[in-house]
Amino acid sequence: MNISNNTILITGGSAGIGFEIAQQLSAQGNQVIITGRNAERLQTAVAKLKNATAIVSDISSADDVSKLVTELNEKFPQLNIVINNAGYAASPYQLLPGVATFEQAAAEIQTNYLAVLRLNEWLLPLLNKQPQAAIVNVSSIVAFAPSINIPGYSISKAALHAYSRVLRITLKNTPVRVFELMPPLVNTEFSKEIGGEKGIPASQVAAELLEGLKNDVYEIHVGNTAGMYQLYLSSPENALQALNSNE
């Protein structure tokens, strides 16, 4: 995949992994469009980027996504890469008796899986018009081995992983390639409640994404995810125990 001269949408692009991806891709000569719910944060982010546009949009809102897709078709008809980075994690909780879990899990499934499916569905006609296009779904190491402290998030990322695999096969005879970026724990504000300060820098995740895109690595296992994947292949139970060993 060519990693320059593209027009790229990055959801959740104002901070963390999304912003680092935007920085590195804009530096490669791409036109970057970042979205997020916070207008002030978006404007601060876009001011630090080259050849970038900010659009306020909540991917969990059907109305917002409809407006976003209309604007992209009108103003960026050359859009050829979509990076589904926006995500949501409730405060840590466990599936214990007496713990209210439904609302948290529903919000996580809605943002991390269903909203991604909807945005991809609505943008596929535009992507399919391009000579070369790509969808990048950002999942997680917990798609292989779920965490007992973030169960809804883990399950939503497992759903996104399965969806990415199905979509990749489905679109194999189209111009649209499907990538999945699978980071481990990353040191961002997003992961602060689950010990994010112990994680890898977001810049490393972005760099490994660019390398994976360039070399057509469709499932990009960042950092410790590579080792966890190999452990999962040999023993899913051992992988589960390893990820939860410090919980």
Catalytic residues, by residue number, are 153
Name the residue type at position 65: V
The answer to whether the CB of 144 falls within 8 A of the CB of 229 is yes
User: Can you tell me the distance from the alpha carbon of 196 to that of 220, in angstroms, rounded to the nearest whole number?
Assistant: 20
Helix axes 16-27, 202-214, angle to 10 degrees: 50
Question: In this structure, which amino acid lies at residue 42?
Answer: L
Q: Compute the residue count for the chain.
A: 247
Which residues fall within 8 angstroms of residue 147, CB to CB, at 6 or more apart?
153, 154, 194, 243, 244, 247
Write the DSSP symbol of residue 82: E
Using alpha carbons only, give the angle 96, 198, 182 rounded to the nearest 5 degrees: 75
Q: What is the pairing mode between strands 81-84 and 133-138?
A: parallel
Q: How far apart are CA 201 and CA 185, in angstroms?
A: 9
d(CA 145, CA 103): 22
Only one residue has tokens 């296009």, namely 133
Report the alpha-carbon distance of residue 135 to residue 233 in Å, rounded. Answer: 26
